[in-house]
Amino acid sequence: MISLTTPITEEAVRALKVGDEVQINGVIFTGRDAVHKYLHEGGELPPGVDLKGGIIYHCGPVMMKQADGSWNCTAAGPTTSIREEPYQAEIIGHFGVRGVIGKGGMGDRTLAGCKEHGCVYLHAIGGAAQVLAECVTRVRGVYFLEKFGSPEAIWELEVSEFPAVVTMDAHGESLHREVFAASEAALQSRL
């Protein structure tokens, strides 16, 4: 298990290979469809959000507001990443992102962006939203809540030992592409 603490250096990311298991510590920011489209169209990050050396988590967490005004994360499972394919490579390069967490993998544009800019795609376990929420030690802030709504807002999460697997690395390797090719070959052999 490789420990990664945000902000992550390009050197640390380029040392990672497909199949490496990691534990993430530090701050991550959620971002789904609305945020990606907004940033892709030239929108600015709100003050206080710095993605340089950081991680974007494709997640719409379930949050409970506490009596003191703070937030408690009760579920934080990954959402399907491929929806962000039209935007992700540009956002990686423009904002200096070093990691993207989600499920299901991404396409060739994102893979090329990871290779060019020094970023990895990290696969989180789908169906384990409550378990992953236990890795969220604190909700540090929320941005664009009124603009996009709770699932699409940017949530700033402090995490400890958040587990993930590198499935797309900064060397152009993708487990998702390998699985697709193997599945396609198996299907063709049965036709």
| Catalytic residue selected from 36, 117, 123, 176 | 36
The distance of Cα 162 from the centroid of its chain, to the nearest Å, equals 12
36 carries an active-site annotation:
yes
* Residue 143: C-alpha distances to residues 30, 37, 49, 83 (Å): 10, 15, 9, 21
Longest dimension (CA), the chain: 62
CB 132 within 8 A of CB 126: no
Cα separation, 96 vs 166, in Å, equals 18
Kindly tell me the sign of the dihedral angle through the C-alpha atoms of 57, 71, 95, 53: negative
Residue with tokens 């719409």: 60
Catalytic residues: 36
